[in-house]
A and B are shown apart, each in its own frame.
Chain A
Amino acid sequence: MAAITCSILLRPGLQKALPLKPLLVLSLVLIMTLGYIPALTQTAVARTRVATLPPEEQVFIRLAGQNTALVQEERVLTLVAGINTITFSWQNVHIDPDAIYLDTLADPDDITLLSVARPPDESALEWEIYSRTDTEQPVVISYLLAGLDNLITYTALADAKEKTLDLDARIILRNFSGEDFANAAFRLSPNTVFKTDLQHLETRQVLFLAQKNLPITKTYDWDEKTMPHDPENLPDAPGIPTGYRIKNSSDAGLGFDLLPGKARIFQENGRAGTIFSGEDLVPFVPTGDTAFLQIGHSRDILVSKRRISSEKTQVRRNEKGDIQVFDEKITDRFILENTTSAPVMLTLTDRIKGQWEPVDMGHAYTLTDHQTLVFDIPLEAKEKKTIDLTYMVANIFTGTFARYNQAAPGN
């Protein structure tokens, strides 16, 4: 059984029974002293004499991803004039002892945190607080609690024409901390706060976003780095990754950071039903960025890449006749086919390494870096298209400097 205790030792006669929670007990030991030295000597004793437990006014839990949550408890301490010692201890829960903070919300002239001490061989802290007067003081105790975290999951429903998408986001609270929480305020972001119970070993799911009719663009993305160039003779066609692009903007109905999480994507089937289209991981998507959610692989859009010719030119030799530098004129052929009865937009990514220049590229493209070419190619229904890319790779070195035939990353 886990327990956190925070105890206050008051003057004799003010001791009260503790309303202990089953898993977590906070005890505060408060010692009013007339002199400094006696107060310190009483501290060790005081920890064992739990006198009163100021009840939690409110528990805030700030979630920051996996494994650890910041728990903040608002309590009201009854302080007496002089130095008060407060002990905070815990059992069977995972708390980072170096990240436990006590904040008083009072004027620093009235209340001062003097020191924090950690007793040996014990999961505990002692705070010494100076109070100018007898007072009831609200404080916030903050600590990092392991075993309590959250996941984000998304459920997306695309319309039958794949033009818009309804997006729901849920937070999954996972509590394996050893602690129960009653009506705690969970804060996912400054704008996302909700109150709920959460027991130890409980998983709870709460909807926090339901956005309708987000515009989407469906794309098919063929990348020469990951796709087979000659799929004709492969026993199992891999298919071209396809999915939806979503712009994170207020115009599109979002305009706030999307947190990472798994998205499960469904689609209306036009008959008041849905099918599951696929799932993907939503990365962190700040406002203004575009996210791509892959749903599956299309085996109805076919792409082959073949090298049709490579011709060496501008061969330069040394005095011994050894080849030092040459150019190579290359023609690569893309054979594209849309076997479906609807037009599609194919995004094709190709790479040409080294020093190169176009000769006849066959189709417009965007150069995203020195070697990456992105082609947006519309394919009509049932259309078969061939695109030849002819380019010249210049100054291909042999021997010692061959490693410079590709630009190494960095400067």
Chain B
Amino acid sequence: MQHAKRGSIHLVLLVLILAYAVPARAGIDLMVLSPSQKIQTAIYNPADLTLVTDSRVLPLDKGMNQIRFSWANTRIDPTSLTLAVKDASLPVTIEQMRFPPDTKNLAVWHVHAQTPCRAEIEISYFTAGISWESDYTAVLSPDKSHICLTGHVRIQNRSGEDYDNAKTRLVIGKIHLLDRIAKLAEQPHPHGRPEIGGFADQGQDAYARGKVLLETAPAMAMQKSMPAEAPKNIEKTKLSEYFLYTIEGTQSIAHGWSRQLVSFDAPAVPVTHIFVFDDRRFGTRTVQMLSFTNDTASDLGKFPLPGGRFQVFHAIDQNGGMTFAGQDTADYIPVEKQARLTLGPDPRVKVTPKIMTYAKTNLQFNDQGNLSGFDDVRTMAMDISNASDLPADVEITRHMPDPDFTITDITGPGRLEKIDQTRFRFFATLAPGTTTSIGYTITTRKGDRKWQQ
């Protein structure tokens, strides 16, 4: 088995027994490697961004202390590095942070303490390479009236760093970013450099090589998931425009591994089967869509559902027998909104538009006797058949090239809804094994007839 190359992060405290003055590199007399007390990760989707918060306790001496934070073979964005002292009442001041010129991937904070103390600090930073995605399994009941919907979240770590026993939150929401974190992590200088030219950048190639190494190394390990554990509860909360999935306890996510967790389980979500005929979107075929609503009646509705892949199966007996009904990728589903999963064309439900009569009326001539306009009058029949074993809600969407038309003389079971000035829609419900037809007359004004007032 191929093993992924691990990155490393080190935190070193250097205490300078100096007066409160200009930080200098001389006078180092103490070096302490401080272990992490607590690591929290907030993993965003779809942005390739994870906020890592690393809490540690450091003994600070009176005077200027240097806290050195270094990393290697990881995808940390150095522009995001921040250090905070948790207890604001401590006589501690963070003076500066510097990226020394002679060392790569090293940040040094200058922290001044008026008196010796032990300070709980938080170092936070962004990293690329950790991602999560959601997917869903929907199992249709034998009568196809309900689905058992199970949501999963899958976390993948390709950051180059192992995160052991990390408190993990998954963030759902579209975040506004100016730069890709992965790009910032690859910069040869933490905040870039002024554009003056003339100085060869020898680090560029090394970074490019490192990036290739980082992205190719974990390929085999990614295919395997971590061993199963007892199911963990995932708490959902809303904050601003984001929903947070907070995973119970802590997670260890090693570089190169992925981990899948069940995010929710809704055993009986009512569904409807909608057969959509829309020649602009699907051509002449009728497409079956499975619809459900993210509401409390569905045992959902407490939080939006993040976008992801839905795999739909049909339970055909009580012994676990199933067939594969189709799959679709759905976007974010807000609370109380309907979701539609496209399962594909279904030849058992057909919609056939027919022109039953055709006439040209109200012919208009100009002063020279030339034809200048007329009305195009068609009597339409939308023949619908349902050869399936389910009741079929059929939705027929029609598009017109311009708004100069009127619809009259509607017959049959159809209910008309005007979407806007060029689109309208018919709804009809058919019992299994039945046919019907919706009739209507559509009059389109052509040429000068459009201008008749």
Which A residues lie at the B interface, using CB under 8 A? 66-68, 94, 146-149, 151, 153, 155, 158, 160, 162, 172, 174, 176, 183, 195-197, 199-207, 233-239, 241-243, 262, 264, 267, 269-270, 273-281, 294-300, 302, 306-310, 312-313, 315, 320-321, 323, 326, 333, 339-341, 382
Contact = CB atoms under 8 A, between A and B. Distances in A.
Interface string B142-182: 00000000000000000000000000010101111110000
B96 A267 contact: no
B196 A147 contact: yes
A281 B241 CA distance: 19
Contacts of A310: 403, 421
A17 B177 CA distance: 55
A300 B372 CA distance: 50
Interface residues of B, number: 69
A300 B335 contact: yes
Interface in B234-290: 237-242, 244, 281
A273 B195 CA distance: 38
- A-B pairs, 6 with minimum CB distance: A201-B101, A297-B174, A306-B420, A339-B334, A278-B176, A203-B99
A299 B96 contact: no
A295 B453 contact: no
Contact of B240 (A197, A267, A281, A339): A267
A299 B174 contact: yes
B378 interface: no
A295 B242 CA distance: 10
Contacts of A207: 94, 96
A315 B450 CA distance: 11
A297 B191 contact: no
Contacts of A176: 189, 193-194, 196, 199
B97 interface: yes
13 contacts: A67-B196, A176-B199, A203-B99, A203-B189, A235-B329, A267-B240, A277-B175, A280-B178, A295-B240, A296-B176, A297-B174, A309-B403, A315-B451
Contacts of A308: 418, 420-421
Given A205-B98, A269-B239, A66 B421 contact: no
Contact of B239 (A148, A239, A267): A267
Query: Which of B24, B97, B169, B281 has the largest count of A CB atoms less than 10 A from its CB?
Result: B97
Interface string B317-342: 00000000000010110111100000
Contact of A277 (B240, B304, B419, B420): B240
A241 B352 CA distance: 42
Nearest to B124: A274
B42 interface: yes
Nearest to A295: B176
Nearest to B195: A67
Nearest to A280: B176
A204 B99 contact: yes
A242 B173 CA distance: 12
Contacts of A295: 175-176, 240-241
B453 A300 contact: no
Given A197-B22, A203-B191, A309-B421, A273 B40 contact: yes
Contact of B420 (A203, A274, A307): A307
Contacts, number: 182
Nearest to B174: A297
Contacts of B96: 196, 204-207
B304 A300 contact: yes
Interface of A (DSSP majority class): strand
Contacts of B99: 202-204
A231 B244 CA distance: 25
Contact of B191 (A174, A270, A277): A174
A174 B194 CA distance: 7
A68 B196 CA distance: 9
B241 A296 contact: yes
Nearest to A205: B97
B367 A321 contact: yes
Nearest to A182: B22
A264 B23 CA distance: 28
A82 B171 CA distance: 75
Given A276-B126, A300-B334, A262 B178 contact: yes
Query: Which of A199, A200, A296, A340 has the largest count of B CB atoms less than 10 A from its CB?
Result: A296
Given A203-B99, A203-B190, A275 B450 contact: no
A239 B80 CA distance: 26
Nearest to B51: A276
A276 B176 contact: no
Given A242-B241, A262-B178, A312-B453, A199 B101 contact: yes
Contacts of A238: 174
A341 B243 CA distance: 13
Nearest to B23: A197
A37 B222 CA distance: 81
B212 to A, nearest CB: 25
A195 B21 CA distance: 10
Contacts of B34: none
B79 interface: yes
B434 interface: no
B225 interface: no
Given A176-B194, A201-B101, A279 B177 contact: yes
A145 to B, nearest CB: 10
B80 A312 contact: no
Interface string B64-101: 00000000000000011010000000000011111111
Contacts of A236: 307, 331
Nearest to A162: B240
A244 B342 CA distance: 38
Contacts of B408: none
A5 B40 CA distance: 52
